[in-house]
Chains A and B, each alone.
Chain A
Amino acid sequence: MSKENILEKTITLADLVGFKTARIVGLKGDDVSKRRLMALGIVRGKEIALDTQAPMGDPRVYSILGYRLTIRNDDASKIIVSYE
């Protein structure tokens, strides 16, 4: 696990570009939004990938746990992900 961490880069979900798959490593922000995100499957260790974006690039659609979720970029910037 620690070996992998060295090789992986950590960014926020909002900065994820292309259609790469990333892994969630943590959440920032207030309790309420965190709880909301967790209920929808945004928890550590889950894979998440960018799917589509709205006409003005915000919000964007991600796929997680085999379904699709829209998240505003402001909120996505509070989700920390890592990718290889």
Chain B
Amino acid sequence: METVSSNITIGLVGNPNSGKTTLLNKLCNSKDSVGNYPRVTVSAQERSFSHAGHSITITDLPGIYALTTLSPEESSSRDLIHSEKVDLLVNVLDAGNLERSLYLTSQLIEMGRPIIFVLNMIDEARRKHLKIDTQALSDMLGGPVIEMNSIAGEGLEKLKDAIVEQGAVKREVSQTFIKYDQHLADAVVRVQEKIAQLHPKEMTEQQTRWLAIKLLEGDEVLLRQEKDHDHLLEMVRRERYDLARDHDGECEMLFADARYGFVHGMVCEAVEFPDDIESRFDITRKLDRIFLNKVIGIPLFIGLLWTMFQTTFTVGEYPMNWIDSGVTVVSAFLDDLIPAGMVHDLVIEGIVAGVGGTIIFLPNIVILFFFMAIFSETGYLTRAAFLMDRLMHTFGLHGKALIPLVMGFGCNVPAVMATRTIESDRSRLITILINPFMLCAARLPVFILFAGAFFSEMAGTMVFIMYMLSIIIAMAASVFLNKLLPKGAEEAFVMELPPYRLPTLRAVLVHMWDKALNFLQKIAGVILVGSVVIWFLQAFPQHTVYSTDFDAQIEQLQSSPASSDSEAAIAELKRKKAQEHLSESYLGRIARTIAPVFAPLDFTWRDTVAILTGFVAKEVVVASYAVIYSQDEESTEESTSLRAVLAGTMSPLVAFAFMLFALLYSPCLATIAAIRREAGGWRWAGFSVAFSLVLAWGLAFTVVSVGSLFI
């Protein structure tokens, strides 16, 4: 079919847990998925698809309950809805939870943008025997209402058609007004007239009305925006005072009451409830009797975390070995293929060693994110936040901070962004600053490598200990920061407890695939470049002035009759030569300059190199070791795995200190950028780097010095 091709931009708005993301995935993957561009815009994810000759771009706004300006999520959503960037809004409603969902809608329709309403999770509503009259709803809301089950794909085509239809017309919306009580309505009209006088011809009637309502509600952002209009502000103040006096309650409450009244009226008219309404939480209630149990609730949560980490390590071991063998095969193949020389060394000792040494951790990362997806998709993570709130509270954290902290086990970057659900600036800042201490998946390879090399008897437990330490240190840091930062008003802890939902296999797989892809991209990018750079730095200058003429000595030994003694001597000479070459290389020189800083920790200059490179991304630590030791590996030829090579290069105590240091020191570049963005400026990003470096050094030093007293 031939239609004029045009671009329609849509904003996807709805409460948290209304199934927006599932809908988005369904819309964009079903056809012509252009791809996922995370972090293009700070808050929102943009994706696109095409339908009936139109290309449609969707911006997924974060889940919100209202359009006030309490949190950065709410204000950024409001700004976007207002802007001309979106042509059309799709308001996703939880069909089984209409009354609450429609409160946001009552604020949306006042903004005067065209909206399509989606009754999502209609299957859940049907199971609850709710009868929803969509035509009646559509009439009252003044826009199309579409029943949808985004998991099964029901209603998807209807939505696409509606988007194209609405978007192509770009018509003015039919004005739906919320009926306020007479006094409120009169006040709105008076303020609206004043605004129209002050901003002649700048605003439509809808816009002046919206602004009048918001000013009367006491919206700080908009009041500040109008700060030059003293008359207006004075008028608003007086109206608010009069309304509050006459109605026994503050102005905002009057508006909220009216909105809920409007919503309640709509729901009464359009929804028929069954008699046994309470039975609908049945399965959720039964599960919560176990998961929220007074006695076993918290132990169960800790047990689940332990299972996650243990499985990540043990189950990951098998595919890890397969990949390891694969890397060996590739390495051997390339070894034969490429003639000896610098290219050969660069490929084998640089690229294959670095990339291969890191890629083997892919299974661990995929397994970890499998668990993370299950926890958050089922609704268990919210339960965990509920269970742990009291404890978190004693550490000066908000219960909601648990979610970004647990997400930090995956990656600190989205975790830092997830702190946006915390409204109080102070709590959010603390949660952001302690987040880098959470052991992210990028640091996991370092610990798996070290635990395997130095604590092979109890490798799984060692990794678990690192996770526990990361939690303990994060909590301690929170207590410290709470003392350091000036006190502010404490935020109310209110959180929706969604019903348990069975995660769809698709959602879990998409999540895992996303993270796997992310990791592979990192390998193809920063790890690859890092490996090459490190290889060059350690290979040059090529002509080292050696302390003795190793080559001559080796030749001499080789020319004499072979014996086990002479072979050992040759190996020893070769090793010495390689080491001298390394320490005279650019890499060695740089590292030796900085090494004194780490000398008290008993880290060698090689460890210093690994630490330095890890500033970029923590996986590079492993790649660095792989490149640095790839020469030794050849000479010993005992094992192909880096783990075996590394074993014995430091004492278990120093290895533990190194693990601790690697856990804590400086967030990676991506996280630093995220902190700067979310905490508002370089100041906090800089603080985070300095704070973590001092802490890392201090704790590692304590471990080494106290530990050496006992060992």
Q: Contact residues of A with B, CB < 8 Å?
A: 26-27, 29-41, 43-46, 52, 54-56, 58-59, 61, 63, 65-72, 74-75
CB of A55 within 8 A of CB of B256, answer no
How distant is the Cα of A59 from the Cα of B389 in the complex, in angstroms?
7
Closest A residue to B295 by beta carbon equals: A55
Closest B residue to A27 by beta carbon equals: B253
**Residues of chain B with a CB closer than 8 A to A34's CB:** 250, 252-253
How distant is the Cα of A14 from the Cα of B280 in the complex, in angstroms?
25
**Residues of chain A with a CB closer than 8 A to B494's CB:** 36-37, 40, 69-72, 75
CB of A66 within 8 A of CB of B97, answer yes
CB of A52 within 8 A of CB of B288, answer yes
Besides A41-B260, A71-B493, 8 new A-B residue pairs in contact (Cβ under 8 A), listed by A number: A39-B103, A55-B295, A55-B298, A59-B390, A65-B99, A66-B96, A69-B494, A72-B493
**Residues of chain A with a CB closer than 8 A to B161's CB:** none
CB of B99 within 8 A of CB of A40, answer no
Shortest distance from the beta carbon of A51 to any chain B beta carbon, whole Å: 8
Count how many pairs of residues, one from A and one from B, have CB atoms less than 8 Å apart in the complex: 125
Within 8 A of A (CB), among B598-646: none
B218 on interface, CB distance cutoff 8 Å = yes
With A41-B260, A65-B100, A70-B386 as given contacts, are A36 and B292 in contact (CB-CB < 8 Å)?
Answer: no
**Residues of chain B with a CB closer than 8 A to A41's CB:** 99-100, 103, 260
Within 8 A of A (CB), among B53-80: 65-66, 68, 70
How distant is the Cα of A47 from the Cα of B297 in the complex, in angstroms?
28
CB of B99 within 8 A of CB of A66, answer yes
Find A38's partner among B97, B256, B498 (CB 8 Å cutoff): B256
CB of A61 within 8 A of CB of B260, answer no
B408 on interface, CB distance cutoff 8 Å = no
B505 on interface, CB distance cutoff 8 Å = no
Find A54's partner among B68, B281, B386 (CB 8 Å cutoff): B386
Find A67's partner among B100, B288, B389, B492 (CB 8 Å cutoff): B100
Task: Write 27 A-B pairs (CB below 8 A) sorted by A numbering.
Answer: A27-B253, A31-B252, A32-B423, A32-B491, A34-B253, A35-B70, A37-B494, A39-B65, A39-B104, A40-B65, A43-B253, A43-B257, A44-B249, A54-B386, A55-B387, A58-B389, A58-B390, A59-B389, A61-B386, A63-B281, A65-B99, A67-B97, A68-B281, A69-B494, A70-B386, A70-B493, A70-B494
B337 on interface, CB distance cutoff 8 Å = no
How distant is the Cα of A35 from the Cα of B317 in the complex, in angstroms?
50
CB of B277 within 8 A of CB of A66, answer yes
With A35-B70, A41-B260, A43-B256 as given contacts, are A75 and B387 in contact (CB-CB < 8 Å)?
Answer: no
CB of B292 within 8 A of CB of A52, answer yes
With A27-B253, A44-B257, A52-B292 as given contacts, are A36 and B277 in contact (CB-CB < 8 Å)?
Answer: no
CB of A36 within 8 A of CB of B100, answer no
CB of A67 within 8 A of CB of B257, answer no
Shortest distance from the beta carbon of A48 to any chain B beta carbon, whole Å: 12
Shortest distance from the beta carbon of A26 to any chain B beta carbon, whole Å: 7
**Residues of chain A with a CB closer than 8 A to B260's CB:** 41, 43, 45-46
CB of A55 within 8 A of CB of B297, answer yes
**Residues of chain A with a CB closer than 8 A to B496's CB:** 40, 67-70
How distant is the Cα of A56 from the Cα of B298 in the complex, in angstroms?
11
How distant is the Cα of A45 from the Cα of B263 in the complex, in angstroms?
13
Shortest distance from the beta carbon of A23 to any chain B beta carbon, whole Å: 13
B517 on interface, CB distance cutoff 8 Å = no
CB of B256 within 8 A of CB of A75, answer no
How distant is the Cα of A37 from the Cα of B496 in the complex, in angstroms?
11
B497 on interface, CB distance cutoff 8 Å = yes
How distant is the Cα of A63 from the Cα of B277 in the complex, in angstroms?
12
Identify the interface centre among A58, A63, A72: most chain B CB within 10 Å of its CB.
Answer: A72
B495 on interface, CB distance cutoff 8 Å = yes
How distant is the Cα of A43 from the Cα of B431 in the complex, in angstroms?
30
B399 on interface, CB distance cutoff 8 Å = yes
CB of B253 within 8 A of CB of A38, answer yes
CB of B492 within 8 A of CB of A33, answer yes
Closest A residue to B489 by beta carbon equals: A30
Shortest distance from the beta carbon of A21 to any chain B beta carbon, whole Å: 11
How distant is the Cα of A54 from the Cα of B288 in the complex, in angstroms?
11
With A32-B423, A59-B386 as given contacts, are A37 and B492 in contact (CB-CB < 8 Å)?
Answer: yes
B294 on interface, CB distance cutoff 8 Å = yes
**Residues of chain A with a CB closer than 8 A to B100's CB:** 40-41, 65-67
Within 8 A of A (CB), among B231-270: 249-250, 252-253, 256-257, 260
**Residues of chain A with a CB closer than 8 A to B399's CB:** 59, 70, 72
Q: Mark interface residues in B520-536 (1 if CB within 8 Å of A CB, else 0).
A: 00000000000000000
Q: Mark interface residues in B278-315 (1 if CB within 8 Å of A CB, else 0).
A: 00110000001000111101100000000000000000
CB of B249 within 8 A of CB of A56, answer no
**Residues of chain A with a CB closer than 8 A to B99's CB:** 41, 65-66
How distant is the Cα of A39 from the Cα of B257 in the complex, in angstroms?
11
**Residues of chain B with a CB closer than 8 A to A30's CB:** 489
CB of B491 within 8 A of CB of A35, answer no
**Residues of chain B with a CB closer than 8 A to A43's CB:** 253, 256-257, 260
**Residues of chain B with a CB closer than 8 A to A27's CB:** 253
With A32-B423, A52-B288 as given contacts, are A59 and B493 in contact (CB-CB < 8 Å)?
Answer: yes
With A43-B256, A65-B100, A70-B497 as given contacts, are A54 and B70 in contact (CB-CB < 8 Å)?
Answer: no
Find B257's partner among A35, A45, A54 (CB 8 Å cutoff): A45
With A33-B492, A37-B492 as given contacts, are A54 and B253 in contact (CB-CB < 8 Å)?
Answer: no
Identify the interface centre among B288, B389, B497: most chain A CB within 10 Å of its CB.
Answer: B497
Shortest distance from the beta carbon of B428 to any chain A beta carbon, whole Å: 14
**Residues of chain A with a CB closer than 8 A to B68's CB:** 35, 39
How distant is the Cα of A67 from the Cα of B108 in the complex, in angstroms?
22
CB of B492 within 8 A of CB of A75, answer yes
CB of A56 within 8 A of CB of B390, answer yes
How distant is the Cα of A9 from the Cα of B89 in the complex, in angstroms?
45
CB of B66 within 8 A of CB of A39, answer yes
Closest B residue to A72 by beta carbon equals: B493
Shortest distance from the beta carbon of A79 to any chain B beta carbon, whole Å: 10
**Residues of chain B with a CB closer than 8 A to A74's CB:** 490, 493
How distant is the Cα of A59 from the Cα of B99 in the complex, in angstroms?
24
Closest 4 CB pairs of A and B: A39-B66, A33-B492, A72-B493, A38-B256
How distant is the Cα of A69 from the Cα of B297 in the complex, in angstroms?
18
**Residues of chain B with a CB closer than 8 A to A44's CB:** 249, 253, 257
**Residues of chain A with a CB closer than 8 A to B294's CB:** 55
Closest B residue to A45 by beta carbon equals: B257
CB of B492 within 8 A of CB of A54, answer no
**Residues of chain A with a CB closer than 8 A to B390's CB:** 54-56, 58-59
Q: Mark interface residues in B398-437 (1 if CB within 8 Å of A CB, else 0).
A: 0100000000000000000000000100000000000000
